Amino acid sequence: MTTDTTQTPRRLTRSTSDKKLGGVAGGLGAHFSVDPILFRIGFAIATLFSGAGAVAYLALVAFVPTDTGDRALFGPRTATA
């Protein structure tokens, strides 16, 4: 007996409702079902110790689209008819 449990994979998006700067932590929190404050603290600690947190945050702002469907700054362009 087999059951078909195929699910559409969830896409990582930046949050437009739970955002402080770019919505990255809010989007990560929603994607992983974790409180976004944990990601905010992680980015802050990584930024203070090595600067990698700021680089990662800016990369996510540039490449991850918003949850409203707006494309990312450097995201793939969709063909228009």
d(CA 67, CA 17): 9
pLDDT at 81 over 50: no
d(CA 70, CA 61): 12
Residue 71: which pLDDT band, with cuts at 50, 70 and 90? Answer: confident
Residue of higher predicted confidence among 10 and 64: 64
Say how many C-beta atoms besides its own lie within 10 A of residue 38's C-beta: 13
Judge whether 22 and 30 are in contact, CB under 8 Å.
no
Closest residue by Cα to residue 58 from 48, 69, 47: 47
11-44 residue pLDDT tens: 889 998 988 889 999 999 999 999 999 999 999 9
Domains of the chain, residue spans: 24-63
Alpha carbon 47 to its chain centroid, in Å, reads: 17
Q: What is the pTM of this model?
A: 0.78
Average pLDDT for residues 53-59, to the nearest whole number?
94
